[in-house]
Amino acid sequence: MWPTLFIIDGQAVSTYGVLTALGYLAGGLWVYFHLREIEGKEDEFWLLCYAIVVSAVLGAKMGYWLLEWRDFSADPWGMLSDWRSGWVFWTGFAGTLVGCWLFQQAYNRVRRPRRYLPVADLFAAALALGHVLGRVGCFFEGCCHGRPTSMPWGVSFYSFSVPEAWRGMPLHPVQLYEAFGELVLFLFLAYSVMPRIRAKKYAYGSAFFLYILLYALLRFVMEFFRGDDRGVFFLPGLSPSQWFSLAGGGAAAFILWKRGLAEKHPQTRSVYL
């Protein structure tokens, strides 16, 4: 497609890398401009961003190691240093949750203890926004491609990640399908759910758990259109990402069912413990 955005001093700058960076920037700026909603401080914001990036990278690469351990063991440094591939979203997401929880436990020891869910709501919406640009980057890179299709909007790819037999064939632009789904999810969270949380109609955590549930549903469906290596398949023929989606979406659905969306104590609600 368009893997190289431009060349500087003979060095190619990848479109995927630029769009991924812009995704982090867009999500980060969205959180930054909404910090007042959780009485957040700027130094706290930057420290949390660092914790998110590190834990997300470690979690995503760990997931890739678990699913593709044979390829990983053959060239571990190459797999770790290749930023174009080797990422597993759900384990990266899990790593972020753990990293943020550890960060908050340490931070609460020196500052006024803060609740986890108000922060998670903001970053859930930001993640959906950043993921839009990330998936568009996948489209230009040619990774995370779809299966062959006869639909008129099929797109031909020639990248290294596409099986040779499929190069030049119309494939589902599944990257753009998911990018569109993520954009709708961001708009829903940012302009429907978050205003209700600010108005104390929805409880803290509503955006966070709705993000997990709705993204899990989106990802589960998108997996049927994917044509790249999906890792080891288990009965009944579902990919690892679909099993992760079932687990994450099921857990979020159960929590939302038990706690509901409505704020039960609007008069005493606080972002602090």
Q: Which domain holds residue 82?
A: 4-259
The verdict on residue 268 lying in a domain is: no
Tokens of 63: 């997931």
More reliable by pLDDT, 34 or 67: 34
Tokens of 65: 């190691």
| Non-local CB neighbours of 21 within 8 Å, separated by 6+ positions | none
What pLDDT is stored for residue 190 in this prediction? 98
Q: CA nearest 222: which of 263, 264, 181?
A: 181
Instruction: Provide the CB-side half-sphere exposure for 257 (13 A, CA).
Output: 7
Overall average pLDDT of the 72-77 stretch: 67
Identify the helix (H) or strand (E) that includes residue 52: helix 42-67
The answer to whether residue 193 scores a pLDDT higher than 90 is yes
What pLDDT is stored for residue 77 in this prediction? 65
DSSP state of 152: T
The verdict on residue 235 lying in a domain is: yes
Q: CA nearest 84: which of 153, 15, 1?
A: 15
The answer to whether residue 235 scores a pLDDT higher than 70 is no
User: What type of residue sits at position 220?
Assistant: F
The verdict on residue 85 lying in a domain is: yes
The verdict on residue 264 lying in a domain is: no
The count of domains in the chain is 1
The verdict on residue 242 lying in a domain is: yes
What pLDDT is stored for residue 83 in this prediction? 58
What pLDDT is stored for residue 28 in this prediction? 94
More reliable by pLDDT, 11 or 201: 201
Q: CA nearest 222: which of 170, 169, 176, 160?
A: 176
The verdict on residue 269 lying in a domain is: no
- The angle subtended at Cα 128 by Cα 44 and Cα 183, nearest 5°, is 140
The answer to whether residue 111 scores a pLDDT higher than 80 is yes
> Between the CA of residue 51 and those of 84, 134, 219, what are the distances in Å?
22, 19, 25
The answer to whether residue 211 scores a pLDDT higher than 80 is yes
Range in 137-151, 192-206, 209-223 with the lowest mean pLDDT:
137-151
For residues 256 and 213, the answer to whether their CB atoms sit within 8 Å is yes
The verdict on residue 197 lying in a domain is: yes
The verdict on residue 27 lying in a domain is: yes
More reliable by pLDDT, 123 or 235: 123
b/e for 61-82, b at 16 or more Cβ within 10 A? bebbbebbeeebeeeeeebeee
pLDDT confidence tier of residue 41, bands split at 50, 70 and 90: confident
Cis previous bond, 3, omega within 30: no
Tell me the pLDDT of the chain averaged across its residues: 90
What pLDDT is stored for residue 71 in this prediction? 65
What pLDDT is stored for residue 12 in this prediction? 78
| Non-local CB neighbours of 96 within 8 Å, separated by 6+ positions | 52, 55, 56, 59
Gyration radius of the chain's alpha carbons: 20
pLDDT confidence tier of residue 4, bands split at 50, 70 and 90: confident
To the nearest whole percent, how much of the chain has pLDDT over 90? 68
Overall average pLDDT of the 48-67 stretch: 86
Overall average pLDDT of the 236-259 stretch: 94
Q: What is the torsion angle, in degrees rounded to the nearest 10, for the CA atoms of residue 142, residue 146, residue 163 and residue 72?
A: 80
